[in-house]
Amino acid sequence: MSVYDDYDMTIGIECHVQLATKTKLFSTADNDARDKEPNTCVTPIDFGLPGMLPVLNREAVNLAIKAGKALNAPIARVSRFDRKHYYYPDLPKGYQTTQMYQPIILAGYVDAPMDDGSIVRVRIHHAHMEEDAGKLTHFNGYSLVDLNRAGTPLIEIVSEPDIHSAAAARAYATELYRLMTYAGVTHGDLYYGNMRFDVNISVAKKGSNVLGKRTEVKNLNSFRSVERAAEYECKRQIDLLERGERMIQETRGWNDDKQITTSQRSKEDAQDYRYMPDADIPPIVLTDEEIERIQAEVPMLPGEYREKWAELGLDKSVINSLLANQNYARVITEIQEKSGDNTAKRVAHWFSSALIAEGSGSEADETPVDNVGMYVSIDDLTALAEMTEKAEISSTNAKELFNELLGGARDPRALAEKQHMLQVSDEGAIGAIVDEVLADPASATSIADIKAGKDKAIGYLVGQVMKKSKGQANPGLAQKLIREKL
């Protein structure tokens, strides 16, 4: 038994979600700074120039309301903004506009599926709106400031310390990502920091009713790094305590190349930020009718898809790969409603195979949810599934036609006819080919093997039937007729 087994890990996660608005939280500057020249997505408000007054972006409020539904959390009827005072070179005003005392999203929860089929429920303490700071680029001896991100609208989702393993931390981060992207709250581009995770980790002896002193690992932007940073930091803290050293409450960074955390600065407490109400921004006052109308726009969320697909008997890997593409998830559900479970299950496996082949399913939880995707006709997919069910085409050809439909082709029957993929299921026609194959001296050895009980030998005879029919014979019917004739 390892010394690490004597300790319990406790994790809480703060997640910054960049809202999918066209403009920033308090200015008209472009909210999409990807690949833009430094300091071009800015206005005097973002520079914090004297006399500049903020104007709240109403669409950011709407997206926060939608996020509340995804988090199973009520929305505050009145919420307010505060000033959080701390100095960074990339924060021009000298304070951050945030919501300390009256956040817009109240307590909720997220149910995160684990690999073993269990569910980890992580309570949400609250989620608040705030603006992002800019970005510093460091060189030898100097730093450059880019304020393109300054004023970017965020919601910060603060979990309770309900997570007790690195795997559960990853599962929670993954599900939170899916919820926010499916609800349309964020574009979900992890590379550009659309969602960033701050992981608070502490350890304590098993049975202790007091949490250990925590460290915060900042700005993780992948689910894999959330898991690995938690694993490393847990062991680091235990090793430190076992040596009799004192834990320091601090902020740490994650070095992905070395797979280690490194100290950045001591961790401040809330009182160190000198929060005070922001007198320049009126309170957000919402009615029940407004909230209901906005939340009614939220489409099906991942948990609802899982419930809907429970009747299909899909593997977890198939479900995860489907959830990597929101359009495909919608298609499967619509086919299920229109044509039944069997058809939906067949199409679901086609989608899963295609997504894994293109790299979107093997590590589905590291892949941004695709909300665009190629338009695929539901009628065409249903027709293809029916052709396969009736053995009009082989399963191999069905997958080939499916990929063509994904590429924009239409009418699977016409495609199958053009490419001579339609299977012949006429017993008389196939029977005649079977007779030819059985009469061929080259088949004598296989026939003898079959009669001797070596059943696999029938594969050669079926292959010869398929060859003579130019691949159009129904292989199942060919095998049936061969057995009957022998």
pLDDT tens for 94-103 read: 899 999 999 9
Judged against a pLDDT cut of 90, whether residue 80 lies above it is answered with yes
pTM summary value: 0.87
**451 vs 174, higher pLDDT:** 174
Compute how many other C-beta atoms are within 10 angstroms of the C-beta atom of residue 81. 28
- Distance, CA of 392 to CA of 267 (rounded, Å): 67
- CB 313, CB 345: distance < 8 Å: yes
Q: Which of 48-52, 169-173, 181-185, 294-298 has the lowest mean pLDDT?
A: 48-52
Q: State how far the alpha carbon of 5 is from the alpha carbons of 235, 247, 422, in Å.
A: 10, 19, 60
| Whole-number Cα distances in Å, 173 to 17, 170, 216, 341 | 12, 5, 15, 31
Can you tell me the distance from the alpha carbon of 174 to that of 157, in angstroms, rounded to the nearest whole number? 14
Across the range 61-82, mean pLDDT stands at 98
Distance CA 226, CA 122 (A): 16
Q: Cα–Cα distance between 357 and 54 in angstroms, integer?
A: 48
Mean pLDDT lowest for which of 25-34, 318-327, 434-443? 434-443
For residue 48, how many other CB atoms are within 10 A of its CB?
15
Closest CA to 18 of 57, 55, 52: 57
DSSP 113-152: E-TTS-EEEEEEEEEEEEE---EEEEETTEEEEE-TTTT-
Rounded Cα–Cα distance for residues 90 and 131 (Å):
12
- pLDDT greater at residue 473 or residue 196: 196
Helix 341-357 and helix 378-389, axial crossing angle in degrees, nearest 10: 110
pLDDT per residue over 299-323, tens digit each? 999 999 999 999 999 999 999 999 9
**AA identity, residue 217:** V
Q: Which residue has the higher pLDDT, 469 or 80?
A: 80
Instruction: Give the dihedral sign, CA 214/218/223/229.
Output: negative
Give the strand pairing for 250-255 and 215-220: parallel
C-beta atoms surrounding 257 within 10 Å: 5
Complete domains list, the chain, with CATH? 3-289 (no CATH), 300-418 (no CATH), 427-485 (1.10.10.410)
- Res. 475: pLDDT tops 80: no
Of residues 60 and 5, the one with the higher pLDDT is 60
Tell me: pLDDT of 216 over 60.
yes
